[in-house]
């Protein structure tokens, strides 16, 4: 599992997907999220603006990412 430091204030899911290089744009993030392909802490997440914090685990396209 890879780790990504986001700091104590966290990050929005759409921003995280772009920062981690999992999508190329906000539009791509919106499309991917609409399909239910992104799992946050074991549950599908469809909100691009969902607030993530250190300790959250994101699963996308078979990869796992833990926020620190």
Length of the chain: 68
| Whole-prediction pTM | 0.89
DSSP class of 5: -
For 25-34, what is each residue's pLDDT tens digit? Answer: 888 999 999 9
Judge contact between 55 and 66, C-beta under 8 A.
yes
Given a cut of 90, is residue 1 above it in pLDDT?
Answer: no
CATH topology of domain 2-67: 3.10.290
Residues 6+ apart with CB under 8 A from 43: none
Mean pLDDT of 36-48: 96
Provide DSSP, 6-51: --TT-EEHHHHHHHTTS-SSHHHHHHHHHTT--EETTEE---TT-E
């Amino acid at each position: 599992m890879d780790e990504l430091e986001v700091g104590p204030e966290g990050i929005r899911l759409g921003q995280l997907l772009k920062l981690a290089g999992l999508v190329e744009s906000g539009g791509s993030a919106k499309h991917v999220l609409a399909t239910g392909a992104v799992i946050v802490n074991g549950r599908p997440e469809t909100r691009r603006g969902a607030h993530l914090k250190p300790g959250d685990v994101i699963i996308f396209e078979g990869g796992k990412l833990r926020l620190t």
